[in-house]
A and B are shown apart, each in its own frame.
Chain A
Amino acid sequence: MANLIEITDLAYRYPDGTPAIDGISLSVESGDRVAILGPIGAGKSTLLLHLNGLLLAQSGSVTVDGMKVTGETVREVRRRVGLVFQDPDDQLFLPTLLEDVAFGPLNEGKAPREAAARAHGVLADLGLAGSEGRAAHHLSGGQKRLAALATVLVSRPRVLVLDEPTGNLDAEGRAKLVRLLQERDETLVVATHDLEVARALCSRCVVLDRGKIATQGDSARLLDDASFLQQHRLTVPLGDRALRGSTGTRSPKNPHNH
């Protein structure tokens, strides 16, 4: 099967010269579900920005659906790769939810009536029917996450790229989002700290550390390897077997104080 995303020896440095990602090569096939794991500063978000053409390769290359991501192809690439940002408040910038969701199709040249119909449909699918006229600041955290997802799904991308999709969500919101994403057919690339979400959503994990791929492989195998996770500064899931020996209680440092 042809690779939907092909990243070859990609490197990116911030304007101050600090390397963000360094020599990353990665292939994602159509229908793949890939988790990008790594501690803060590992280069996850920078990598995701390359997939949507928001950052262009300084060296190496990124190819999406057979198109090399360049200034010329970037509009077509963005039709195919939907990027959901870490903070939904960045993504919801228009006065009403309907306008926010219809923004992508309108930019693609769809007529207002068609864009609105699509937006209504996606909002209904995500359980946000009736919120079309509301402003984003009147939504709960969970609703904002779903709304941000709707702004991308409405353009029917081939690849869904999510940056920390469960950040600031409570357990119920997190479970709802995971269930929803499990039912989607799109190719999925998820950058997350949440190892349980990675396990639930993705069959493959790519671990980044200091801008390089430390390892990649089957999620179940990697996420069960507690020593590997600790070695790469990833949080071990609470309740994981590796932590069950610890009760969370500890004896006082100086018992004489009591």
Chain B
Amino acid sequence: MSFHHLDQYAHIESPITHTPPVVRLLGTVVVAVGAAALPLGAWGHMAVLALLVGLIALLARVPARVMLLRVSGPLAFVVLASTAVLFLVPGQPVFHAGPVVVTDAGLLRFGSAIGRAVVALGAAVILVSTTGFPDLVSAFRDLRLPRVVTTSLGLAYRLLYTLVDEIERIERAARSRNVGAGARRRRQLAVGIAATALTRSFARGERTYRAMLARGYHGEMPSLRTRRVDVNSLIGLGLLTVTVLATTISAYMIR
């Protein structure tokens, strides 16, 4: 499964992987919020934040090719969702594309949305590339997210793999008996597979709950995590926050 290796850089020795997950998570939030807070058309400041993200990726030893690949997927959705502003925001016409007119204000907003998204997605990609999901869940716990949320995330993560394994098994069995089927038949098959997988996931959930009860679960999810945040990580997070804040504030001051 492709998502097996999302956190493939989590086990590489780097200054980033040495910081506690909660610090990495907070750093990502700082960069993402800083990018989102930049004013429209602050291209130079967006470039500064993008360079900062690039530097962190370098420290985390996440290759540029991996960064680009992982950013490009979600970025395509941002591009798709932002395309409408090109035509809908009133302003001076820049060029005509058939019946629709692209305005300068629309172009400015579109470009700004893409620039901000590149920075925020870059930070998020570094986070998920260097942090295993269990550590992410523990970071959420450290941030005092409700236990029911973090537990649900942990269980969902674990069950996702068993569910995907089951879907793969069902799909393989279906394909082996479905040689040369047309597109319509394949669509019907996909619906059938989804329904079967859903039914099985309910059964799986029931069995897992029994296994929890058998080991003394009584409605309160216990936690093992007691990770401490060291001073160096806090200094690193502080420096990052100051840099992002300075970049964002200077973008407003220059205007």
Structural contact, B208 and A90, CB atoms closer than 8 A: yes
The residue in A93, A136, A152 that gathers the most chain B C-beta atoms within 10 A of its C-beta is A93
> Main secondary structure on chain B at its contact with chain A?
helix
Structural contact, A98 and B211, CB atoms closer than 8 A: no
Structural contact, B214 and A106, CB atoms closer than 8 A: no
Q: How large is the interface on B (under 10, 10 to 19, 20 to 34, 35 or more residues)?
A: 20 to 34
Structural contact, B222 and A96, CB atoms closer than 8 A: no
Structural contact, B216 and A107, CB atoms closer than 8 A: yes
Chain B residues with a Cβ under 8 A of chain A? 4, 132-134, 137, 154-155, 157-159, 161-162, 165, 204, 207-208, 210-218, 222-226
Instruction: Known A78-B214, A107-B217, A107-B218; judge A94-B154 contact (CB<8 A).
Output: yes
Distance (whole angstroms) from the CB of A100 to the closest CB of chain B: 9
> Which chain A residues numbered 89 to 107 have a C-beta less than 8 Å away from chain B?
89-96, 98-99, 102-104, 106-107
CB contact between A137 and one of B154, B158, B212 (< 8 Å): that residue: B158
Distance (whole angstroms) from the CB of B13 to the closest CB of chain A: 15
Structural contact, B224 and A137, CB atoms closer than 8 A: no
Q: Which residues of B are found within 8 Å of A94, using beta-carbon distances?
A: 154-155, 158
Closest chain B residue to A49 by CB distance? B210
Structural contact, A95 and B215, CB atoms closer than 8 A: no
Cα–Cα, bound, A103→B154 (Å): 13
Distance (whole angstroms) from the CB of B122 to the closest CB of chain A: 25
Q: Which residues of A are found within 8 Å of B218, using beta-carbon distances?
A: 75, 107
Structural contact, B210 and A54, CB atoms closer than 8 A: yes
Closest chain A residue to B206 by CB distance? A90
A197 at the interface (CB under 8 A from B): no
CB contact between B158 and one of A83, A95, A107, A115 (< 8 Å): that residue: A95
Q: Which residues of B are found within 8 Å of A104, using beta-carbon distances?
A: 215-216
Structural contact, A85 and B224, CB atoms closer than 8 A: no
Distance (whole angstroms) from the CB of B177 to the closest CB of chain A: 23
Distance (whole angstroms) from the CB of B1 to the closest CB of chain A: 9
Other than the known A85-B211, A103-B215, what 10 A-B pairs have Cβ atoms closer than 8 Å? A78-B214, A79-B216, A87-B207, A90-B207, A93-B159, A95-B132, A103-B217, A107-B215, A112-B226, A135-B132
